[in-house]
C-alpha cells in the first residue's frame, strides 16, 4: 500500500481475525522467535478476548433469567387463585431481581464497549524498526528486490534473491455438475446447426435487417413479417418489442393465437444426443492442451459427460466454428491437462491485458508479456481461457489460446513455492465411478 489511507480502505468492511488468532502472524516468527514485548502483548490481548467471551456468556444468561422472571410476573398477575398478599410478595421479589439483572446487563454491555478501545490503547509493538515499510516492499507483486533496495536496509545482501509473495491455491479436480443442459435442441437444422425455441424477447436483427437465426421464415410468412415489423418498430430490441403479449395475425388482419416462442437456428457446438435431439454439455471439468508444431496451441474441452465414456474426445475448439469444423488432435501432440486452480506461466505475442478485479486497488489495467497465473475456466465460442493473478487482483477473462507464444504448467506448494511440471503429461481418463 502506498499510504495509510489506502491500507485502511483495503481493509474496510473486511472481517479479519485478530493477529493472535491468525496462524500467518505466528509464522512471521518461526525462525527468530518472538520478543518478550510481543509475547506480553499477546498475553494481554488474549486475556481481553477471554474477558470478552465471558461477558458475552454472562449477558446471554442474564437475559434468559430476566425473560423467565417476566413470564412469572405475567402469570402471577393473570392467575386468580391464591392469597393476594402472597402474590404481591412474589411480584416484589421478581421485580427486585429484574432490577438487579438490569444493572448487571448495563454494566456488562458498558464493559464490552470499552474492551475494543482498551485493546487498541496498547497496540502490538513492531517486531523491528521499519517493519511496516519492509513488509509493504516484500508484498510488491512485480519487483520486491527493487523496493527493498530503495529502503537501504542493512539486513539484505546486495545479490540476495527476493521473490514476490505468492498465494498458494488448490486446484479443483472434482467432477461435479449436470451431464448436459436441460434444453434439448433439434438436429434438423442441418450439418453444424441445431434448432431450438427461444422467447420473442430474445429476438434481434442481423446486419441485413432480418431476424437473426429465424428458422424457415417461408413456412409462415404472415407470422415472420409481423414479428419483423414489430422488431423494427423498436429498433431491433426484442425485450421492448415484445414486452406485451404478441398475437399471430390472421389473413384478414385480425389477431390470432398468442405466440411466445419461435424456432431459431444456431451453430452447433459440442453436445450430447438426448432422445430425438441434442443437449448442450453441462459443466466443463478440465481442458486438455495440445501443441501442434507450426500451428500453435489448442485445447479439447472435457465435460462431465465425457468422464463416463470409455475414451476421451479429441476435437479441439476452433474460434467461431461449429463443432463439426473443430480440429482433430493427435495423441502425440498432447501437452497437459488444466483444471480450475492449476498454475501456468504464459507468454503472449501481443501482451496480456489484465483488468483490475471488482473491489481491487491499483491500476485499472496493466499489460504483461509474461507472468504466472491461475487457470479459471475456458470458453469454446472463441477458444479462449480465463486466468487470474495469484492474489486475484487482476484477471483476463478471454485470452485466446491461439495468441499464446507459450503456456507452461506449474505445481505450487503450501508455502507458495512453484515448480515446473515435467512434460509431457500422460493424458488421464476417468474411473467409471467418476
DSSP notation for 222-239: HHHHHHHHHHHHTTT-HH
Asked whether residue 158 carries a pLDDT value surpassing 80, the answer given is no
Least confident of 26-30, 113-117, 119-123, 193-197: 119-123
Same domain for 285 and 237, yes or no, is: no
Per the domain annotation, does 144 fall within a domain?
no
363 Cβ neighbours under 8 A, 6+ residues apart: 356
Per-residue model confidence (pLDDT) at position 219:
80
Threshold 0.85, pTM exceeds? no
Same domain for 14 and 107, yes or no, is: yes
Nearest one of 4, 1, 14, 13 to 362, comparing CA atoms? 1
Per the domain annotation, does 157 fall within a domain?
no
- The residue range of the domain holding 25 is 4-127
Cα-Cα-Cα-Cα dihedral sign, residues 299, 300, 301, 304: negative
Asked whether residue 8 carries a pLDDT value surpassing 90, the answer given is no
Same domain for 112 and 208, yes or no, is: no
Per the domain annotation, does 228 fall within a domain?
yes
Per the domain annotation, does 154 fall within a domain?
no
Asked whether residue 122 carries a pLDDT value surpassing 70, the answer given is no
Predicted confidence band of residue 177 (pLDDT cuts 50, 70, 90)? very low
Nearest one of 314, 312, 311, 308 to 180, comparing CA atoms? 308
Same domain for 259 and 302, yes or no, is: no
Where among 110, 127, 144 does a domain terminate?
127
Per-residue model confidence (pLDDT) at position 280:
46
Least confident of 32-46, 143-157, 163-177, 321-335: 163-177
Nearest one of 273, 318, 286 to 177, comparing CA atoms? 286
Per-residue model confidence (pLDDT) at position 167:
80
Nearest one of 175, 171, 239, 228 to 202, comparing CA atoms? 239
Same domain for 400 and 281, yes or no, is: yes
Per the domain annotation, does 427 fall within a domain?
no
Nearest one of 306, 308, 304, 281 to 431, comparing CA atoms? 308
Predicted confidence band of residue 18 (pLDDT cuts 50, 70, 90)? low
Asked whether residue 129 carries a pLDDT value surpassing 80, the answer given is no
Same domain for 241 and 357, yes or no, is: no
Asked whether residue 279 carries a pLDDT value surpassing 50, the answer given is no
Same domain for 92 and 220, yes or no, is: no
**360 with 394: CB under 8 angstroms?**
yes
**Rounded-to-integer distance, Cα 249 and Cα 165, Å:** 67
Q: What is the mean pLDDT of residues 386-401?
A: 90
Total tally of structural domains belonging to the chain: 3
Same domain for 284 and 412, yes or no, is: yes
Which one is predicted more confidently, 183 or 71?
71
**Rounded-to-integer distance, Cα 433 and Cα 190, Å:** 35
Least confident of 139-148, 254-263, 334-343, 378-387: 139-148
Predicted confidence band of residue 16 (pLDDT cuts 50, 70, 90)? low
Same domain for 228 and 329, yes or no, is: no
Per the domain annotation, does 412 fall within a domain?
yes
Per the domain annotation, does 134 fall within a domain?
no
Same domain for 302 and 355, yes or no, is: yes
Least confident of 101-105, 263-267, 380-384, 421-425: 263-267
Per-residue model confidence (pLDDT) at position 119:
58
Amino acid at each position: 500500500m502506498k499510504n495509510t489511507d489506502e491500507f485502511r480502505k483495503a481493509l474496510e468492511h473486511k472481517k479479519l481475525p485478530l493477529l493472535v488468532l491468525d496462524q500467518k502472524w505466528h509464522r512471521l516468527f518461526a525462525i527468530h522467535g518472538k520478543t518478550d514485548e510481543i509475547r506480553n502483548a499477546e498475553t494481554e490481548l488474549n486475556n481481553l478476548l477471554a474477558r470478552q467471551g465471558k461477558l458475552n456468556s454472562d449477558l446471554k444468561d442474564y437475559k434468559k433469567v430476566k425473560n423467565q422472571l417476566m413470564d412469572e410476573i405475567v402469570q402471577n398477575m393473570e392467575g386468580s387463585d391464591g392469597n393476594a398478599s402472597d402474590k404481591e410478595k412474589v411480584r416484589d421479589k421478581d421485580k427486585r431481581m429484574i432490577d438487579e439483572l438490569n444493572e448487571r446487563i448495563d454494566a456488562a454491555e458498558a464493559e464490552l464497549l470499552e474492551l475494543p478501545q482498551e485493546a487498541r490503547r496498547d497496540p502490538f509493538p513492531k517486531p523491528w524498526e521499519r517493519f511496516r515499510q519492509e513488509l509493504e516492499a516484500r508484498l510488491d507483486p512485480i519487483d520486491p528486490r527493487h523496493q527493498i533496495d530503495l529502503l537501504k536496509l542493512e539486513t539484505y545482501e546486495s545479490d540476495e534473491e527476493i521473490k514476490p509473495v505468492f498465494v498458494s491455491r488448490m486446484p479443483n479436480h472434482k467432477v461435479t455438475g449436470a451431464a448436459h443442459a436441460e434444453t434439448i435442441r433439434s438436429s434438423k437444422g442441418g450439418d453444424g446447426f441445431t434448432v431450438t425455441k427461444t422467447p420473442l424477447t430474445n429476438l434481434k436483427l442481423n446486419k441485413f435487417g432480418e431476424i437473426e437465426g429465424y428458422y424457415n421464415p417461408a413456412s409462415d410468412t404472415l407470422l415472420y413479417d409481423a414479428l419483423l415489423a414489430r422488431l423494427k418498430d423498436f429498433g431491433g430490441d426484442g425485450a421492448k418489442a415484445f414486452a406485451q403479449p404478441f398475437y399471430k395475425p390472421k389473413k384478414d388482419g385480425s389477431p390470432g393465437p398468442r405466440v411466445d416462442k419461435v424456432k431459431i437456428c444456431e451453430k452447433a457446438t459440442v453436445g450430447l444426443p438426448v432422445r430425438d435431439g441434442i443437449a448442450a454439455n453441462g459443466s466443463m471439468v478440465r481442458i486438455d492442451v495440445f501443441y501442434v508444431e507450426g500451428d500453435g496451441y489448442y485445447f479439447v474441452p472435457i465435460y462431465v459427460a465425457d468422464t463416463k465414456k470409455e475414451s476421451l474426445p479429441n476435437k479441439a475448439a476452433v474460434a467461431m466454428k461449429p463443432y463439426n469444423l473443430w480440429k482433430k488432435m493427435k495423441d502425440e501432440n498432447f501437452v497437459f491437462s488444466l483444471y480450475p486452480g492449476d498454475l501456468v506461466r504464459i507468454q503472449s505475442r501481443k501482451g496480456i491485458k489484465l483488468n483490475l478485479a471488482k473491489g481491487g486497488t491499483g491500476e485499472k489495467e496493466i499489460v504483461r508479456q509474461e507472468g504466472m497465473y491461475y487457470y479459471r475456466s475456458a470458453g469454446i465460442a472463441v477458444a479462449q481461457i480465463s486466468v487470474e493473478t495469484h492474489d486475484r487482483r487482476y484477471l483476463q477473462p478471454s485470452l485466446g489460446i491461439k495468441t499464446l507464444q507459450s503456456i507452461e504448467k506449474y505445481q505450487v506448494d503450501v508455502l507458495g513455492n512453484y515448480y515446473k511440471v515435467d512434460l509431457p503429461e500422460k493424458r488421464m481418463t476417468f474411473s467409471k465411478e467418476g
